Structure 1
């Protein structure tokens, strides 16, 4: 295969990414000082992918304010110290030809949680360093504390926090911003009628439930100008039998977000409810991405149990998605992109000189 689509460049606004094999955001829960500042772990974790031939690397979900972090051990981007530490990382990614992206997030009712390996589940109480989570409504995620319902003024404050984090991100050297509107975190909570029971301008109709997302996209576009690409990660479905968020609503809101200034859509699924049945299997979310791509006429990425070079290239070549994102496969092999290129018969001009003996 002389020129597989997987290794062809793609341009979003004025940013060209050298291939279609991207690193999805992966929470590390590794800020031991609990101050949101990236550490040597994050530098090494993200840097290992940069030397492995990928096109774009997205950081883990990064809180736009302190209470928006999933756990106290997560990254944030609301202080000068955090911004300076991120600048060190983006400089290294750029040195190796990688486009640097950051996922800006607010966890909403799923904030103030324990680390996955802590042996504990649910909300960390304030007495143990946690905080009161907030959400669109006083409806708890199963097994978590009931969140405080956000006031309209507080919602406006969160929109401004996304705007300010976007400015910090660009100043820290990030090329692309991604709004996290998936996996049951705050913006997804607003989108789903099962977690959003409001009766004001942010609840009820689809237009109202999408209002927060559209305000965030608009605020970011106004802040960072016309050159910076804005991605949005969406869950294509809640995987509930009825009454929840689904792929049809996703496609409609995607088109609205594109009109508001978003450029590219990262389609995942689930995360807003526990105990649901998810049809896990190779590429199980690709169909969601394809539906959104076709219905909203936007560029999308596919993610979820994509593990081989041939599978990834087929998804892109066949037009099911424009880009493939991987997470756990890169944890298993940070240099998967280099291996994929060799398997597909591609000679990369960005293979690190230090690794040429291996290929």
Structure 2
């Protein structure tokens, strides 16, 4: 029996298999509201057999968007608009997840297909905030350092977004602490130069991410799993690294987080990342082994046998696929055939089953 296609349970949620859709920004929302694109995009991955379909980084506030086209969850109306998408995902046998985020100093940028550069206010951009007034890159604006009132509002915004995610029917919630966005910025010495209780030594740099985690776990139902996406390393000397990630992972486990989604990078534009097949999987394995928490592996996992080996040999509990599922929404169904697993096809497609 395929390990990749075995069921996986966290709290009261049982996933039909270990293939999870990574949250991937589509830059196609209007004022933070989903469009037909999101229903088709996410719905196709549910039809295609994934165990969990995770919605893209969804901003907890308008200024927390990466781009003007980002999905949002800063009002009850946004939550209502997501209900049909959640309903369809679940109707196809997949769990529905959403990642909530604040882009910090990487906010107010254009869509990638228009260059992805920072937007001026004349172009529809806005002022950005960060732990310290350190820009992401030379062509990015100098962010405003978060004040105490900003920090309290950020915690509140994440809390309200979590409540709305529950009310919209999502089964899984993920906190975005990776890829150089706001919570990761507080973790990394490369972006966090503060000299107050939110900066300096590791205990202080963990403070805001852990305050967000505590507040969210209070409102996110006890029966539902909570994930965290973490950049295990900045790939830069003097930045965030694996050893610090292990300290954070232990704290997250103690606060009711159920799974660490192990990614890396994103803090600076010029990091030297040795990308290759499965290059981030060792981070997941290290967290799983040292901390004793469920983990997901992500990063250039493209082949069914590769994914099977990761799960079967306990390198990770599940795999998150990104670009491979953009290329082929039905990758899980094809992988099931390759691994001789009797995965259920949608009844509408049964007549095409090999």
CA contact (8 A) 1:24 1:326 kept: yes
CA contact (8 A) 1:136 1:150 kept: yes
Q: Which residue of 2 aligns with 1:275?
A: 270
Does the alignment pair 1:211 with 2:207? yes
| Aligned partner of 1:305 among 300, 321, 334 | 300
Rounded to whole Å, the distance in 2 between the matches of 1:27 and 1:104 is 12
Q: Which residue of 2 aligns with 1:237?
A: 233
Q: Which residue of 2 aligns with 1:101?
A: 97
Task: Note the C-alpha offset of 1:224.
Answer: 2.0
Task: Note the C-alpha offset of 1:30.
Answer: 0.8
Task: Note the C-alpha offset of 1:358.
Answer: 2.5
Q: Which runs of 5+ in 2 are unaligned?
A: none
Task: Note the C-alpha offset of 1:277.
Answer: 0.9
Poorly superposed stretches of 4+, deviation over 4 Å: none
Rounded to whole Å, the distance in 2 between the matches of 1:12 and 1:201 is 34
Does the alignment pair 1:341 with 2:318? no
Does the alignment pair 1:127 with 2:125? no
What does the per-residue CA deviation read over 1:274-317, in whole Å, with 9 as the maximum and x for residues that have no partner?
A: 11111011001001111111111111000000001000000011
Q: Which runs of 5+ in 1 are unaligned?
A: none
Q: Which residue of 2 aligns with 1:8?
A: 6
What does the per-residue CA deviation read over 1:46-90, in whole Å, with 9 as the maximum and x for residues that have no partner?
A: 000010011001100000000000001100001232111110100
Q: Which residue of 2 aligns with 1:118?
A: 114
Q: Which residue of 1 aligns with 2:198?
A: 202
Does the alignment pair 1:28 with 2:26? yes
Q: Which residue of 2 aligns with 1:137?
A: 132
CA contact (8 A) 1:213 1:257 kept: no
Rounded to whole Å, the distance in 2 between the matches of 1:123 and 1:46 is 28
Rounded to whole Å, the distance in 1 between the matches of 2:215 and 2:222 is 12
Q: Which residue of 2 aligns with 1:353?
A: 347
What does the per-residue CA deviation read over 1:237-271, in whole Å, with 9 as the maximum and x for residues that have no partner?
A: 0011x110011111110110111121110000000
CA contact (8 A) 1:39 1:85 kept: no
CA contact (8 A) 1:163 1:219 kept: yes
Rounded to whole Å, the distance in 1 between the matches of 2:143 and 2:68 is 17
2:260 aligned counterpart, secondary structure: strand
| Aligned partner of 1:182 among 178, 200, 217 | 178
What does the per-residue CA deviation read over 1:312-352, in whole Å, with 9 as the maximum and x for residues that have no partner?
A: 0000111110000101000110000000001100112x310
CA contact (8 A) 1:78 1:165 kept: yes
Task: Note the C-alpha offset of 1:213.
Answer: 1.1
TM-score normalised to structure 1 length: 0.97
Q: Which residue of 2 aligns with 1:249?
A: 244
What does the per-residue CA deviation read over 1:147-204, in whole Å, with 9 as the maximum and x for residues that have no partner?
A: 1100112111101100000000000010110000000000000000110000111101
Task: Note the C-alpha offset of 1:357.
Answer: 2.4
2:4 aligned counterpart, secondary structure: helix
Moved more, 219-228 or 308-317: 219-228
Rounded to whole Å, the distance in 2 between the matches of 1:300 and 1:117 is 32
Does the alignment pair 1:328 with 2:323? yes
What is the number of equivalent residue pairs in this alignment?
A: 352
CA contact (8 A) 1:9 1:18 kept: yes
1:7 aligned counterpart, secondary structure: coil
| RMSD over equivalenced CA pairs, Å | 0.9
Task: Note the C-alpha offset of 1:226.
Answer: 1.2
Q: Which residue of 2 aligns with 1:59?
A: 55
Does the alignment pair 1:221 with 2:221? no
2:125 aligned counterpart, secondary structure: coil
